[in-house]
Structure 1
Amino acid sequence: MRHHWRRVVITVRMIDGVEFRYSRFGMRRARRTLEADFASLLGSRLQIYRS
């Protein structure tokens, strides 16, 4: 059984116009790591989408 590695590319555009792209290779279970990385990068900005 081979592991399928997918390229994960996420583009985030902020309301204030800031845009950055997060690209990495990883399996599906790495999504929580991605979200954790975004939480640390965005900080309080992440609350804009959650409010």
Structure 2
Amino acid sequence: MKEKTRLALEHGFGGGMMLWETGLDAPGNAGLTAVIFNELKNDTINYYTALQR
């Protein structure tokens, strides 16, 4: 999931990620939402710059 989030950011698909059934996501740092959140938080790509490529 970390690599998919990175791919979305690198190609300007910041609004194109979706999750289903988050109620079944693992708690804490093991969950998909936590992995995505941490990757977005640590992102160095400026989303608006990526859109202009």
So what's the TM-score if we normalise by structure 2?
0.32
**TM-score (norm. length: structure 1):** 0.33
Of structures 1 and 2, the one scoring higher in RCO (CA 8 A, sep 6+) is 2
- Which protein is bigger by CA-based radius of gyration? 1
Give the strand-richer structure, 1 or 2. Answer: 1
More helix per residue: 2
